[in-house]
A and B are shown apart, each in its own frame.
Chain A
Amino acid sequence: MPEAATSRNAPPPAREEQFNDLEQQTEAAHLGMWLFLSTEILFFGGLFGAYTIYRVSYPAAFAAASKDLLMWAGAADTAILLVSSFAMAMAVHAAQTDARRALTVFLLLAAGIGGLFLCLHGYEYYKDFAEHHIPGPSFRYEGGKAPANQVQLFFLLYFLMTGLHSLHVTIGIVILTVLAVQSWRGKFSREYYNPVEIAGLYWHFVDIVWVFLFPLLYLIARR
């Protein structure tokens, strides 16, 4: 095994020994990630199911509550995540063309823009807090167009769904930052960049979740 004598900082051998070739290794990694993403779809799916039931049951309350969300912030959230996804796609391309510097920059860019999303969403949470829209004993709703407890149910689902999503964004930022450091140290090459692609799949999935959350939460009532 000539690869055995690698030093600590040299790139690891591209192919793990259990795979016949690099193609098989990449395919196995993709299938594994998609399997994980299927469980993620159903993880979020439970919340989407609960949302559907209550939205059909209390359409007026959901429409009234949705009007209290900042629609333009939601639209900006979507745009921010789309830009971040684009940066991630470009990172994969940089890895495929052995552009180490570009890979590091694009990974940091994707992570940084993800951070911007969390900041904006944090501001929305702050507004909700100030307006007593956090479900619980201090919840208040003065709109009067719908029963307060039904409106509270909307906000409960809103915080659960966006909270779970923001948790995923946070995890994604950590992963992308770690990958950026590894890329800077030269861990990835044209032959071996599976972690970049797999992290990309995760990051795009987080984007997809938001693509559905935005119209379902922010755009119920016509403005």
Chain B
Amino acid sequence: MPTEIVQPKVYLRTFALLLLLLVLTVGANFINLGPFNVAAALTISIAKAALIILFFMEVRYSKPLVWLFASAGFIWLLLLLIFTETDYQTRGWSAQNWRGGTNGQDHVEFNNPASAKP
């Protein structure tokens, strides 16, 4: 909730920046950055989302309680992604698999009786 009226030029600048970032994200797709292609795309997306939240959604001009509410959802989402990925990416690491022999394709075999033998 803004305490003052946001001027149109602020919206216009935000909009111009968002378009620039869109061009950047498409452009980055034509350059080979290896694994950093994903990182670049996500960084640009987060920057775009931050611009929209801060200026279009006027969170920048809002009270701390609105900041708290606005960040809460994203923090929970981060937890959801981190814990889910931690689980899926480490399923092959159970003790009986430490000696290898899972061929790296193991996360679906978690409940496989063959791999559950001690």
A-B CB pair tally, cutoff 8 Å = 132
Contact, CB under 8 Å: B29 / A41: no
CA distance A45 to B42 in the complex (A): 15
The closest CB in chain B to the CB of A53 belongs to B88
Q: Does A96 contact B (CB under 8 A)?
A: yes
Interface string of B43-74 (1 = CB under 8 A from A): 01100110011011110001101100110111
Interface 9-residue window, one of A8-16, A24-32, A136-144: A24-32
CA distance A153 to B115 in the complex (A): 26
CA distance A40 to B73 in the complex (A): 8
Question: Chain B: interface secondary structure?
Answer: helix
Q: Which of A92-111 contact B (CB under 8 A)?
A: 92-93, 96-97
Q: Does B76 contact A (CB under 8 A)?
A: yes
Contact, CB under 8 Å: B30 / A49: no
Question: Chain A: interface secondary structure?
Answer: helix
Contact, CB under 8 Å: B30 / A223: yes
Q: Which of A34, A38, A78, A82 is in CB contact (< 8 Å) with B66? A: A34
Contact of A201 with B84 at beta-carbon distance under 8 Å, contacts A23-B1, A31-B65, A42-B73 already known: no
Q: Which of B26, B55, B84, B89 is in CB contact (< 8 Å) with A71? A: B26
CA distance A51 to B16 in the complex (A): 30
Residues of B within 8 A of A39 (CB): 73
Interface residues on B, range: 35 or more
A contact residues, total (Cβ < 8 Å): 50
Residues of B within 8 A of A90 (CB): 8, 11
15 A–B contacts from the bound complex (CB under 8 Å): A23-B1, A27-B65, A30-B66, A38-B73, A45-B77, A49-B80, A52-B84, A53-B84, A85-B18, A86-B12, A93-B8, A93-B11, A212-B49, A215-B42, A219-B25
Q: Which residues of B are in contact with A by a Cβ distance under 8 Å?
A: 1, 5-8, 11-12, 14-15, 18-19, 22, 25-26, 29-32, 37, 41-42, 44-45, 48-49, 52-53, 55-58, 62-63, 65-66, 69-70, 72-74, 76-77, 80-81, 84-85, 88-89, 107
